[in-house]
Structure 1
Amino acid sequence: MDLEFYKNQALQKQKEHKKFLENLKKKPPKNLDYVVQEVHDEVFDEVDCLSCANCCKTTGPLYTEKDIERIAKHLRMKPADFEAKFLRIDEDNDKILQNLPCFFLNEDNTCSIYEVRPKACREYPHTDRKKIYQINNLMLKNTVICPAAFTFVEKMMKNLSK
């Protein structure tokens, strides 16, 4: 997967994508959630996350208290020890990874804690979400990181311009 290509495409199309997403927010089509789910499924039939894992290499998820408790239990650690070993508090007061790429990313791009991974990882890149226009800024950011998010916005533009 040519990440540089997708990143450059996404950066070149930021204005166009932003305008499209803003228009979705102003006048969402009645069947928007249905179209979103359909396009999401189509994109993930084409895009293999294991061939990329750019999200795990370049961005860290937020860890909720539930995430911390679940993962710590899975690793047979105390939540406080898990936090001390892997997390830090960022400028927004969120708990995030101390280092990237993600410590739990294996060499083959699989996740060593996949079954108990953080909620933010499970939901990424948020392309199957209801009322998708509520996360326009996040979606724009994700198009630069994630080929699937970029492809999703491109396909949404095609589908909704028919």
Structure 2
Amino acid sequence: MKTPFEPQTDLKAISDFANQHQAENDRFSAFLKEFNDEAIDAKVQELDALISPTISCTDCGNCCKSLMVCLNEEEANNLSTHLKMDRPSFDQQYLEKGSNGMMIMNQMPCHFLQNNKCTVYEYRFEGCKEFPALHLPHFKRRVFTTFMHYDRCPIIFNVVEQLKIEMNFEGSLPNH
């Protein structure tokens, strides 16, 4: 495994590694439950601060290519106004609405991704701003979601792999 200063960014290698280490990652998720929430948050945030600057999101753009993006009314209003579109036209062109009123972008990759860059960056949605959410508290509550994205986000992948090392996790050994 590479150090935080030499992160793994090859998406195929990350995906292959994730597939080969699913059982290990399941054990690591369980292992994390044994630790204090604040201590885990501090370690994850420390690693995120070290690793994130070494990875260029615009070299990858995989989150914008492969994630369903949820948005709320205010975000849809802001972006439709920015695009000089009325909301019904904006909704028809860009959104799907669930029966519960939840709105998601109706296409992957995102309509607004060009050359791995967001063309509406200042108006992007909260979920886009927060991703990969490693800087936020309550990491242990998001472990399942984190591992859902582990195979597609180099930042998440590298933070998790470094976290295993720093926590002396013996992932390759079966539990006794």
Instruction: Answer yes or no: same fold by TM over 0.5.
Output: yes
Which of these residues, 14, 24, 34, is aligned with residue 6 of structure 1? 14
What residue is the counterpart of 1:43 in the other structure?
51
| Residue 79 (structure 2) pairs with residue 71 (structure 1) | yes
| Greater per-residue helix proportion | 1
More deviation in 4-13 or 111-120? 4-13
What residue is the counterpart of 2:95 in the other structure?
87
Q: What is the rounded CA distance, in whole Å, between the counterparts of 1:161 and 1:92 in structure 2?
A: 44
Say whether the 8 Å CA contact 1:61–1:96 is kept in structure 2: yes
Say whether the 8 Å CA contact 2:37–2:139 is kept in structure 1: no
Say whether the 8 Å CA contact 2:77–2:87 is kept in structure 1: yes
Q: What is the rounded CA distance, in whole Å, between the counterparts of 2:140 and 2:48 in structure 1?
A: 14
Aligned residue runs from structure 1 range 90-105, under 5 A: 94-105=102-113
Per the alignment, do residues 23 and 66 of structure 1 end up closer, same or farther by CA in structure 2, a change over 3 Å counting? farther
What residue is the counterpart of 1:17 in the other structure?
25
Which of these residues, 145, 151, 155, is aligned with residue 152 of structure 2? 145
Q: What is the rounded CA distance, in whole Å, between the counterparts of 1:67 and 1:32 in structure 2?
A: 32
What residue is the counterpart of 2:127 in the other structure?
120
Q: What is the rounded CA distance, in whole Å, between the counterparts of 2:158 and 2:31 in structure 1?
A: 18
Q: 1:80, CA displacement in angstroms?
A: 2.7
Q: TM-score by structure 2 length?
A: 0.82
Q: Percent identity?
A: 27
Q: What is the rounded CA distance, in whole Å, between the counterparts of 1:78 and 1:66 in structure 2?
A: 14
Q: 1:40, CA displacement in angstroms?
A: 0.6
Q: Which has the larger radius of gyration?
A: 2
Q: What is the rounded CA distance, in whole Å, between the counterparts of 2:23 and 2:100 in structure 1?
A: 27
Q: CA RMSD in A?
A: 2.0
Uncovered stretches (5+) of structure 1, i.e. residues with no partner: none
What residue is the counterpart of 1:131 in the other structure?
138
| Counterpart secondary structure, 2:104 | strand
Q: 1:89, CA displacement in angstroms?
A: 2.8
Letter in 2 for 1:133: K
Q: What is the rounded CA distance, in whole Å, between the counterparts of 1:6 and 1:92 in structure 2?
A: 35
Uncovered stretches (5+) of structure 2, i.e. residues with no partner: 1-8, 170-176
Say whether the 8 Å CA contact 1:25–1:134 is kept in structure 2: no
Letter in 1 for 2:159: F
| Counterpart secondary structure, 2:132 | coil
Q: TM-score by structure 1 length?
A: 0.89
